[in-house]
Structure 1
Amino acid sequence: MNASANTSSAATPAGVIASCFGFMVIGAQQALYGPAIPYLMQKYDISPGMAGMSLSAHFLGGVLGVLLFHGVYARFSNRSLLGVSYALMAIGCIAFAYAPSWPLALGAAFTIGLGYGGMDFGLNFLFSVGFGKRSVSMVNLINAHFGVGAIAAPALIAWIGAQNYQIAFVACAVGSAIPLLALGSISNRTEHGDGAAQLPTQGGSRGLLLLGAFLLIYVFHVAIETGVGGWEPTHLEDVGYAASFAAAATAVFWLMMTLGRFLSVFIGLRWSTERIMLVSCAGMALCLAAATIPAAAPYAYAGVGLFIAPLFPTGLAWLNRCVPEARSATAYVIAAAMLGGVIFPPLIGEIINRSGTLAAPLFMALLAFVCLLAVRLIIRVLGAAKSAELPRGNTPL
């Protein structure tokens, strides 16, 4: 399928609405584990660390879901794979709400993650390649709705009471089933390049260098996202802010990230992808450095949320433009991003234990600076490739 076909058939308006709703559901579902932990401990008589394994099981399932969806993509259609993903999420949410034992609850969280990973990869890939010049805006649009769900879920828990967390998971199960009604509005096959499931070998080492740079950006920026979300309250309390203020400031971080993605829907129509990525990484690094100043820290973390917002979705559209012959590249970077969310929060916690809370924003600022260098490397590699093709006197981007 050529690019023009992709542009016209990725999804109808109904399919776009259903996809946005699906991202709201996975954002809400992921945000429910934290409020449920005290009641999971009570219900299953487990420790806090063991209860926290529910989120780890979810993300491990997500990694496998991404890789499985990618692995069988050539043999099945978008609609069938997305349908299975939504169904797994619905079944897993019901099972998690009413699991009679903790091992079964962990298995249910893993099942939710399988569906989450498949849907996350499937829709991100579809939207990042399927709308032509609007792909950057469209992939930002669906990812912005993840944040809407992540903000709405704690509000729902606050309304019904955390002791009734099962109701919220059942609501997510129902929400997971609703997009099934609109599967016919999604393109049944969207290829980009040859669709081969292999590493990008075209261009030899250049292709591998590009993929490596994208992997760095995705692992490190998700490490920053989860690091700020997990450790901002600890840092703010340690420098003298009240616990309630620290919690509210962390909520503002997530709110700014959601707003930033909605803004990116419009910015993506006016700015080049390269410019968005450069400004995002530079702004993220500067804000994290400013977070080391106690008086500026809450505002600096809010700035991190704003600047980090476009990186995940915009980077996917850029990746598929830079390495169009390898759909697998999208699967690898999304899976790597999920692993970054599993590995780095405890690593940052250990850094804090050894060096104090000030070390957390400094460490994350270093990661952001590496992301900036990786973006510059990608631009330079692409520029070198273009200069070899353009007539003398033309200046590549």
Structure 2
Amino acid sequence: MPADPFRDPDRRPVLLVCFAAFFLLGALQALYGPAFPLFRARFDLALDEVSAVVSAQFLGAFASIAAAGLLIRLFGYQRLLVAGAASMAAGMLGVALAPAWWLLLACAFVAGVGFGLLNVTFNLLVALVYRPNAAPALNLVSAVFGVGAVVGPLLVAVSEPRYGVPFLLLSGATVVVLVLVARLRVPPVSTPAARTEPTAWGQVGAFVLFYFLYVSIEGGVAAWETEHLAPVFGATTAASFTSLYWGALTVGRFLAAPLSARVRPARMVLGASAGALLFLALAHYVHAAPYMYALVGLCIAPIFGTGLAWLTQAFPERAEQVTPIVMAAANLGPVVTAPLIGLAVARVGTGLVPTALTLLGVLLLTVVGGLYRRTAGRA
């Protein structure tokens, strides 16, 4: 049951502090898209320029996740958690107070570094503390991330036109998390046994592309929904619709926990990808788009966690090696696709947003379908 992780008092502090951290991670990730119109007004930016803040955030996360495996072995879990919280707090403070756009981008990169360190380190730590059955705890962590992502856009909406207020609030809350992780008891780093199974790197590459496209869609809807809807509904209402998307994503993650016990991971990811593509296509009708984007969130909710279970089944002897590679590459998705969408929207108009996202959905379903055929019978 999802409540089981709370029953062990020795492990409960790790999970509770992780909840606090992932609430803030979700809120931070969901802030940037709704704040696009405010950034543009404050710094006099074009559509293709404002998306650079998303790229900076995810590039920072990519760098820290890519290095996390080595850093954990060198410094341990606790030092990385402290460093991650400090980087994220400092970065968000800088975003709130930056007097120039280039400085804001640099601070978003720093916040992204902290985001990545907290994300990968807490995921690995919870998996270690709750093994051999960490799935209920990890599902709860993902759901709490979604709760934070619902709150983030609401903070932007109620703070308009002062874009810096939500970042200041989250920066202060992250300092509290920093104090908590500094006092947290964590296990020592374990050294994995040597593996002899050869790695099918072509299949690893397919999982990398799968996660690259998935994170591009998840972040793309959050980042561009406001721009797509603002001309029809107004900036404030459009920003609040982003919370509807994150709310559906969160509900879907709670529902995914019992459902994933009955449906094989590969089949569940394939069905979720197909559903997401359908509703992305239907989002071209702008008056229905807020609800179509919410249904996209509901569909993609199980993909990240269930995809990791699928990855583990496909590489039972190499999961520790390939998982950080896949997680790091996933963060490159918005780094690459957000500027491309920004350029296209700047030339054609905001009506192109659902078309660009639908194209990503087509690519995702194609890659997932190929992986499904290649791993048939194993996942």
Aligned to 1:163, the other structure's residue is in SS state coil
Q: Pick from 221, 229, 246 the counterpart of residue 222 of structure 2.
A: 229
The whole-number CA distance in structure 1 between the counterparts of 2:343 and 2:201 is: 32
Question: 2-side partners of 1:38 and 1:365: how far apart?
Answer: 23
Measure the CA separation in 1 of the matches of 2:164 and 2:296: 30
Which of 287, 290, 296 in structure 1 is aligned with 2:279?
287
Q: Pick closer, same or farther for the CA change 1:137–1:274 going to 2, 3 Å.
A: farther
Work out which of the residue numbers 212, 219, 222 in structure 2 matches 1:219: 212
Show the counterpart of 1:345.
Answer: 338
CA distance, structure 2, for counterparts of residue 309 and residue 249 of structure 1: 17
* Residue in 2 that maps onto 1:374: 367
**Inter-partner Cα distance in structure 2 for 1:170 and 1:294:** 33
Measure how far apart 1:31 and its partner are. Answer: 3.6
Partner of residue 306 from structure 1, selected from 298, 303, 308: 298
Retained in 2: the 8 A contact 1:218–1:333? yes
User: How far apart are 1:216 and its partner, in Å?
Assistant: 1.6
Paired residues, what number?
367
Structure 2 CA distance for aligned equivalents of residues 278 and 55 of structure 1 = 27
How far apart, CA to CA, are the structure 2 residues paired with 1:367 and 1:36? 23
Provide closer, same or farther for how the CA distance between residues 354 and 164 of structure 1 changes in structure 2, counting only shifts above 3 A: closer
Report the more deviating stretch, 214-223 or 67-76: 67-76
Q: Distance in 2 between matches of 1:279 and 1:26?
A: 27
The residue aligned with 2:188 is 188
* 3-state SS of 1:336 partner: helix
Q: What SS does the corresponding residue of 2:162 show, helix, strand or coil?
A: helix
Report the CA distance shift for 1:191/1:284 in structure 2 as closer, same or farther (over 3 A).
farther
What are the within-5 Å matches in structure 2 for residues 1-397 of structure 1? 12-33=11-32, 47=45, 53-99=52-98, 103-127=102-126, 131-132=130-131, 134-159=133-158, 162-163=161-162, 165-166=164-165, 168-180=166-178, 181-182=180-181, 184-189=184-189, 194=194, 202-204=197-199, 207-233=200-226, 235=228, 241-243=232-234, 247-292=239-284, 297-323=289-315, 324-351=317-344, 360-383=353-376
Matches of 1:298 and 1:117, distance apart in 2: 29
- Deviations along 1:107-162, one digit per CA (max 9) or x if unpaired, are 33222111111111222344456645643443332122222222213333444554
Per the TM alignment, residue 355 of structure 1 is displaced from its structure 2 partner at its CA by 7.1
RMSD: 3.7
Higher-Rg structure is 1
Name the amino acid aligned to 1:141: L
SS at match of 1:76: helix
Contact 1:193 1:326 in 2 (8 A): no
Task: For residue 266 of structure 1, report the CA deviation from its aligned partner.
Answer: 3.2
C-alpha distance in 2 between matches for 1:110 and 1:353: 24
Distance 2:216 2:107 in 1: 25
Change (3 A) 1:164 1:150: same
Matching residue's letter, 1:289: A
The structural deviation recorded for 1:81 is 1.4
Separation in 2, partners of 1:98, 1:161: 15
Q: TM-score, normalised by structure 2?
A: 0.79
Structure 2 unaligned residues grouped into runs of 5+: 1-6
Give distance in 2, aligned partners of 1:37 and 1:361. Answer: 17
Q: Deviations over 1:156-175 (max 9, x none)?
A: 34445543725x33432332
Cα 1:369–1:57 shift into 2, 3 Å: closer
Matched position secondary structure for 1:153: helix
Do the aligned partners of residues 94 and 316 (structure 1) sit closer, same or farther apart at CA in structure 2, a change above 3 Å counting? same
Q: Could you tell me which runs of 5 or more consecutive residues in structure 1 were left unpaired when the two chains were aligned.
A: 1-7, 385-395
Alpha-carbon deviations, 1:323-342, whole Å to 9, x = none?
Answer: 34253422322222222112
Percent of residue pairs identical: 34
Aligned to 2:3: none
Tell me the alpha carbon deviations over residues 334-381 of structure 1, each in whole angstroms, 9 at most, x when there is no partner: 222222112223323455567777765455445334433433443443
Call closer, same or farther: CA 1:130–1:287 in 2, change over 3 Å: farther
- Give the secondary-structure state (helix, strand or coil) at the position aligned to 2:134: helix
Residue 16 of structure 1 deviates from its aligned partner by 0.9
Contact 2:283/2:354, CA 8 A, preserved across alignment: yes
Amino acid at match of 2:244: V
TM-score normalized with structure 1 length: 0.76
What is the CA distance between 1:36 and its match in structure 2?
Answer: 5.9
**Pair 1:305–1:192, CA change in 2 (3 A):** farther
Does the 8 A contact of 2:153 with 2:243 survive in 1?
no
* Equivalent in the alignment of 2:4: none
TM-superposed CA distance for 1:202, in Å, is 3.5
- Over 3 Å counting, the alpha-carbon distance change for 1:41 and 1:71 in structure 2 is same
Could you say what secondary structure the match of 1:189 adopts?
Answer: coil
Structure 1 distance, partners of 2:229, 2:221, is: 11
Give the Å deviation of 1:22. Answer: 0.3
